[in-house]
Structure 1
Amino acid sequence: MGSRPRPWDYVQLQINGELIVWERGRTNFAQLHRRVTAGRDLLRVARERPAHYVLFDLLADAGGHVILNLPLAQRRARLEQLLADAPAQLTLTPQTADMRQVSDWLLNWTVAAGIEGVVSKRLDSRYEPGRRGWSKFRTRIVTEAIIGGVTGSISRPETVLLGRFVRRGRLRYTGRSHPLTLDQRAALAELLSPPRIPRHGTAHPWPQPLPASWTGQLDRPEPLPYVQVEPTVVAEIDADMALNTGAGAIGCGT
């Protein structure tokens, strides 16, 4: 005989949340993206890096009743009740009205866990599809990275592809910038040059095009064509906490 069905095996809800994969105590978007490109290895990838679903809000309860017009405080209370016996893969996002706790999250927890930031919502707010009734406060870092390639052309770069040197001198891809401003494009064009120094039989440490599994873009699971450059230019970047996953949102300045 099979095991007794768990209550969550048959619950039908409408919820708002996000899939994440943890790796060494941090969120890793690149590992989540591997599920899109894994193909026949999907089950193995899922076993090696299991995903968790972080729940933000409840839109319709277990009875199928739409509760968008209820205030957030009531929707939250119902969601907490539903998750009382939920499996460990379902996680309720933390919530607080204590500003000291919020400050600690922004200064410490978001950095340590690779969390993008915190979201502020009114407890009496309704859920209004298509309208943003909340504010997001992102945790950002300023750091440096190597420019390994660009989209567009060397003379007219549109975005830059960034990396960091890791063990044995390998240049690890870490992310792609937002579209550059006209001033940034002009400044970079004077600094960039084609690859010229051979490394292990090749003039550049990255493949052409960049594999989809590197770029971490769920909405574009295709290899990324780009122009390789000599990886000697260092850029100062303003990045969100997803940078280490290869999917960071990056603003760039040389």
Structure 2
Amino acid sequence: MRAVGVPELPGPAMCRGGCAYEVKFDGWRCLTFVRPGGVYLQSRQLKALGPYFPDVVVAAQSTFAPGTVVDGELIVFDAAAGRTSFSALLGRVTAGRRLPAEVAAHPASLVLFDVLAHDGVDLTARPLRERRVVLEHLVAGAPPALALCPQTTDLEQARQWFEELAITGAEGLVVKDLSGRYRPGAAGWWKYKRRVTTEAIVGGVIGTLGGPRALLLGRLDERGQLRYVARTGPLAPTQQQEAAEMLTAAADPHPWPCPLPAAWIGQLDQPEPVRYVPVEPLLVAEIVVDGAYERGRFRHTVRHLRLRADLAPADVELWRSSP
């Protein structure tokens, strides 16, 4: 199932069978299929993740009976930083021959929040409250690579989690109806994420100068170097027209490589470099971002609000490498 973003945290009245509030961790969604021949980890983009997370595969195989299917989020927790590390998670996929060292240095966990089948019995038609009981029983005594997602029905407790767990890298909350069934692919949950409005400098466009489809954004570091920070989602027609009237093609060598390395985008579903048109870093964009900021970049696509002709690049907050 999918979660749809909402601007406010839903109260108990929004859920027919009562609301369950769960912590939304910053990681990769992962379905785990336990079969007689082994364990298969599958991403939301249908990518096989098992080869990159052998520690999770071993834990699942030793914990769940064949015919079990569970849903969760793969994370890597950096104990030294006291928060989840998406770059360490991504490093599992890009490690190659270094994978054994990465597994040892950055052990992964699968935070489980649902069970779709157990011992060959389909549970998707059962309400969440019943599936949760089954899941709690399955995860009890599991190795550290498997963890149960925190859940509460107390709205005030949920609000406290939202505020206090931000420092650990948690993105927000997911809200579910306790009477709800599990409908694969359907949008039946809500996600309430931490979002703020901020500014960044336009350093390139995806598309053309006359028809920009999205903006590539940066910020100046202390030496005045433009550092890449984010990519916007698709621009609305009016936003495209506004940007096309104000953009200037880059005249001097641009500080970013072209195409933009896929690693800079930092998303599992972006395996290829991004081609773009460099522009002079003169325009400031007002954007909406969430709390997923790591290694100097907003990890998720940001939402473009408008261009700020009243601001100069020097007015934008300086680039920083950490939250």
For each residue in 1:74-107, what CA deviation from the matched residue of structure 2 results, as whole angstroms up to 9, or x when unmatched? 2112212222212222222111111112222334
Percent identical among aligned pairs is: 45
Does residue 183 of the first structure (1) align with residue 235 of the second (2)?
no
- 1:31 positional shift: 3.7
Structure 2 Cα separation of the partners of residues 54 and 224 of structure 1: 31
Does residue 251 of the first structure (1) align with residue 308 of the second (2)?
no
Q: Which has the higher strand share?
A: 2
- 1:10 positional shift: 5.7
CA distance change for structure 1 residues 125 and 105 in 2, over 3 Å: closer, same or farther? Answer: same
SS of alignment partner, residue 119 of structure 1: strand
CA distance change for structure 1 residues 80 and 251 in 2, over 3 Å: closer, same or farther? Answer: same
- 1:159 positional shift: 0.4
Aligned residues: 243
Q: Point out where structure 2 has 5 or more consecutive residues left out of the alignment.
A: 1-57, 308-323
CA contact (8 A) 2:59 2:145 kept: no
Q: Point out where structure 1 has 5 or more consecutive residues left out of the alignment.
A: 198-202
CA distance change for structure 1 residues 114 and 81 in 2, over 3 Å: closer, same or farther? Answer: same
Residue in 2 aligned with 1:225? 275
Give the structure-2-normalised TM-score: 0.67
CA distance change for structure 1 residues 44 and 7 in 2, over 3 Å: closer, same or farther? Answer: closer
- Aligned counterparts, 1:2-13, within 5 A: 9=62, 11=64, 12=66, 13=68
Residue in 2 aligned with 1:160? 215
Does residue 205 of the first structure (1) align with residue 255 of the second (2)?
yes
Structure 1 Cα separation of the partners of residues 104 and 281 of structure 2: 36
Q: What residue identity is the alignment partner of 2:117? A: A
Q: What residue identity is the alignment partner of 2:261? A: P
CA contact (8 A) 2:63 2:138 kept: no
Residue in 2 aligned with 1:200? none
- Return the match for 2:146 from 90, 108, 121: 90
Does residue 67 of the first structure (1) align with residue 123 of the second (2)?
yes
- 1:181 positional shift: 1.2
Residue in 1 aligned with 2:108? 51
Structure 2 Cα separation of the partners of residues 87 and 195 of structure 1: 54
CA distance change for structure 1 residues 221 and 42 in 2, over 3 Å: closer, same or farther? Answer: farther
CA distance change for structure 1 residues 130 and 25 in 2, over 3 Å: closer, same or farther? Answer: same
Q: What residue identity is the alignment partner of 1:194? A: A
Structure 2 Cα separation of the partners of residues 193 and 113 of structure 1: 40
Residue in 1 aligned with 2:198? 143
- 1:229 positional shift: 1.6
Does residue 214 of the first structure (1) align with residue 269 of the second (2)?
no
CA distance change for structure 1 residues 166 and 9 in 2, over 3 Å: closer, same or farther? Answer: farther
- 1:179 positional shift: 0.5
- 1:167 positional shift: 5.3
- 1:176 positional shift: 1.0
CA contact (8 A) 1:243 1:249 kept: no
CA contact (8 A) 2:174 2:191 kept: yes
SS of alignment partner, residue 190 of structure 1: helix
- 1:7 positional shift: 8.7
SS of alignment partner, residue 172 of structure 1: strand
Structure 1 Cα separation of the partners of residues 106 and 144 of structure 2: 14
SS of alignment partner, residue 184 of structure 1: helix
- 1:56 positional shift: 1.4
- Return the match for 2:288 from 221, 238, 247: 238
- 1:168 positional shift: 4.1
Structure 2 Cα separation of the partners of residues 30 and 154 of structure 1: 32
CA distance change for structure 1 residues 25 and 235 in 2, over 3 Å: closer, same or farther? Answer: farther
CA distance change for structure 1 residues 139 and 246 in 2, over 3 Å: closer, same or farther? Answer: closer
Structure 1 Cα separation of the partners of residues 246 and 201 of structure 2: 12
CA distance change for structure 1 residues 138 and 81 in 2, over 3 Å: closer, same or farther? Answer: same
- 1:218 positional shift: 1.6
